[in-house]
Chain A
């Protein structure tokens, strides 16, 4: 009798099929809050959200982010406000995907997206430059640099009271 029960269990699991998936061919969708590769966002008018404030670099526990800012001019405008990120590099070998850059960003410019296939043949390939990180320009809009008025940027964090 025990033998029958034993084989019944085996048979049940044969019918159930495997719980694993064949990874490179099949992919498991990630959850909404999954923290993968970063992306630098743009406004609808094509301007970059990043204002080059380096708060993400300061917040980064792994020192993975390098930002170099430069001044916007009316003829060559990259972002609303005074400054933009001239260089924006993230070393994906250092990044620990904690999402603190996302929290620190005052303009919601940097967002951790869902891409997780990050492997490199060379250490230098792991350094993602601004061109690789930035979102494509929305259709029908001119990319940066543009010739536009400064405009306003939205702040993601409301002003908080200082602790006593």
Chain B
């Protein structure tokens, strides 16, 4: 239920967008106050796709939780599983073998290609450039097929298990990946030319949504969105996990901070990803894929951070010594980046809003961890079962 906010007399005009809206692929509610065509203020309401995943982990054992958490995001599912596995392995005091760590990084990087190409398409579509959208999604099929060949699934790969990985990689798959990368690299070079030279496209991106480094630091923006503003931050470099200390990544940053810079950073990151994948394939350590994990995990708590395609993904895991996690807290990169949308919106045309939103690569359903109910009766944020029941009866009366 949405309470209409009436503008004060002659003050401003509020345009509500969402929860269901053609320009939004996932539900979220935005309120833009406008002066003519120019946005003067923005507010956001999330929580429409809250799925109760964190609560769901409390009733499942450690292995079952892995599969639940992998389904937080349909695009970057592997990083969720990796973050969880690394955290639980640290709690249990075991370490996955080097070959498993390398394969984890490999799948994560393949997933980054898939995510960035998907984003490129979606963002181009928001700009009205459907040709780029279709082409980038066509090329995304290549990497999806590679992932299907490697793990058996196009999304939700379930490559990770606690204590290692499930899928091994042989010479035939190595060749397939290398051949696929060859083609993708060629295409990516083309995309880089397109996003930096297509005049119509540049009019939608150049100078739009400029975020300075100071603002980015202040808002705590993460991932490629922050790197496009010149913030040198990448978990793969700052706190190497899995096999990233063995195959170091080079940081890609830009200084402009506008939408064009975000396009450039993400497309250039693709080249870096191709390089890292080739490095991993050229020097894949031999050995076991898994180590034995105990069924019950020692008491303790840990945090685990990985670099998702969208930015830093944060996990807090607490164990009470049983076969179930006591608490798993997930913070996905969309949440800190969402604040930047509201700040950047001010002063732009209303028509630029979808592009600014797409610029952070939002993933609403990953991001929804709680629902705040704005209740006209003023019952506050905590509702008991009786309150909910009463509310339901009232609503359907």
List residues of chain A with CB under 8 Å of any chain B CB: 19, 30-35, 59, 61-62, 96-100, 103, 112, 160-163
Q: Contact between B148 and A61 (Cβ–Cβ < 8 Å)? A: no
A59: which B residues are within 8 A, CB to CB?
63
B122 CB to nearest A CB, Å: 19
B157 CB to nearest A CB, Å: 10
Q: Contact between B68 and A61 (Cβ–Cβ < 8 Å)? A: yes
B149: which A residues are within 8 A, CB to CB?
31-33
Among residues of B, the one whose C-beta sits closest to the C-beta of A60 is B64
12 pairs from A and B in contact (CB 8 Å cutoff): A31-B148, A33-B150, A33-B152, A33-B167, A34-B148, A34-B152, A35-B153, A61-B66, A100-B158, A160-B292, A162-B292, A163-B293
Query: Could you say which interface size class chain B belongs to?
Result: 20 to 34
A62 and B64 CA atoms in complex are apart in Å by: 8
B61 CB to nearest A CB, Å: 9
- Among A34, A59, A160, A163, which residue has the most Cβ atoms of chain B within 10 A? A163
Q: Contact between A31 and B152 (Cβ–Cβ < 8 Å)? A: yes
A162: which B residues are within 8 A, CB to CB?
292
Interface of A is mostly: loop
Cβ-closest 4 pairs across A and B = A61-B67, A33-B152, A61-B64, A31-B149
Q: Contact between A96 and B71 (Cβ–Cβ < 8 Å)? A: yes
A61: which B residues are within 8 A, CB to CB?
60, 63-64, 66-68
A62 and B67 CA atoms in complex are apart in Å by: 9
B82, CB-defined interface residue at 8 Å: no
Q: Contact between A98 and B158 (Cβ–Cβ < 8 Å)? A: yes
Q: Contact between A100 and B63 (Cβ–Cβ < 8 Å)? A: yes
B64: which A residues are within 8 A, CB to CB?
61
A62: which B residues are within 8 A, CB to CB?
67
B150: which A residues are within 8 A, CB to CB?
33
B284, CB-defined interface residue at 8 Å: no
A112: which B residues are within 8 A, CB to CB?
152
A103: which B residues are within 8 A, CB to CB?
161, 166
B389, CB-defined interface residue at 8 Å: no
